[in-house]
Every structure is written in structure tokens, then in C-alpha cells.
């Protein structure tokens, strides 16, 4: 099973998301997830890579794959088991990341998402995953104001 990640570049509640990611990735590994595709940009991608690095200690069979949007850039790949470059040679540079994200969704069996608002690249990727009928495991933001019902 191939799993990809979809989330915002900036996150405010990292510790809650990190705990959630650990639980989700553990269950996915138990269900046969072997390859995890990561984009390598922003807070959510960094958090997912960190969680998977820790998961790899217990599950050495998993593969953490960095999916590159550009060739020839200096991106640290030391925390990954390998890299992939989708067929993006003819894509204009400004469209490379969204096109790479779509490729990741297309190539995956499941999408782990932390999308807390409906604008931006992460939201667009999540909409695409829904259109494609992918299995989506979404982080639900804890309510800031609990709903209180009357008796």
C-alpha cells in the first residue's frame, strides 16, 4: 500500500497533529502500508517525515520516499529512503508542485490529510483526492469552543 500526505505549510498545533500522525501511520503500517510519499515542504511534511523516521525504528520495512517537484535543486534527502521524480519535465516551474501533488494522489492508495481551511495548495490537493475517490484519513481540528447542548 502506498500512502501520501497532504497538509498545510504552516501548522499551529504541532503536538496534537504529531500524536495523530503517529497513531494513523501505525495503523496504516499494520494494514500493510509499505511506501510513504512525502513532498518535503512545510510544517506538515516535516512532521510526517519525523514521525515516519521514528516509525522506521520499529518497522524497518517501510520506505519514506521524497517525491521531487524539481530536478537539480539542492534539497536535503538524508531523512528519506529514496526519491522519485514524476514526469514533470514539460510542466512550467510554477505549476510543478501542484502537478506533483496530483501525481502523488494518483499513485497512492490512501491520503493522510491535515487540511484546516479550504484555500491553498493543500486544500486543492485534498479536493483532487476526493474527486479521485481516494481513501482519505483526515485530521479533525479540535473545537476551540465546545458545543454545549441544553437539557
- The CATH class that applies to domain 2-138 reads alpha beta
Domain ranges of the chain: 2-138
pLDDT above 70 (res 145): no
More confident site: 142 or 74: 74
Q: Confidence class of residue 150 from pLDDT cuts 50, 70 and 90?
A: very low
Q: What is the pLDDT of residues 32-77, one digit of tens each?
A: 999 999 998 889 999 999 999 999 999 999 999 999 999 877 777 8
At 142 the pLDDT is 58
Q: What are the CA-CA distances from residue 65 to residues 18, 38, 50, 93 (Å)?
A: 19, 6, 13, 21
N-terminal to C-terminal alpha carbon distance within the chain: 47
* Predicted TM-score of the model (pTM): 0.89
Nearest to 115 by CA among 3, 1, 5: 5
At 55 the pLDDT is 97
Cell of 83: 526519491
Amino acid at each position: 500500500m502506498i500512502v501520501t500526505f497532504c497538509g498545510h505549510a504552516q501548522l499551529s498545533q504541532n503536538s496534537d497533529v504529531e500524536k495523530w500522525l503517529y497513531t494513523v501511520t501505525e495503523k496504516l503500517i499494520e494494514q500493510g502500508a509499505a511506501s510513504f510519499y512525502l513532498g518535503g515542504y512545510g510544517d506538515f511534511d516535516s512532521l510526517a517525515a519525523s514521525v515516519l523516521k521514528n516509525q522506521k525504528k520499529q518497522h524497518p520495512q517501510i520506505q519514506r520516499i521524497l517525491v521531487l517537484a524539481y530536478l537539480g535543486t539542492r534539497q536535503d534527502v538524508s531523512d528519506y529512503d529514496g526519491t522519485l521524480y514524476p514526469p514533470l519535465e514539460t510542466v512550467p516551474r510554477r505549476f510543478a508542485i501542484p502537478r506533483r501533488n496530483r501525481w502523488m494522489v494518483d499513485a497512492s492508495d490512501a491520503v493522510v490529510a491535515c487540511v484546516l481551511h479550504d484555500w491553498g495548495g493543500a486544500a486543492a490537493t485534498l479536493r483532487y483526492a476526493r474527486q479521485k475517490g481516494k481513501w482519505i484519513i483526515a485530521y479533525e481540528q479540535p473545537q476551540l469552543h465546545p458545543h454545549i447542548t441544553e437539557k
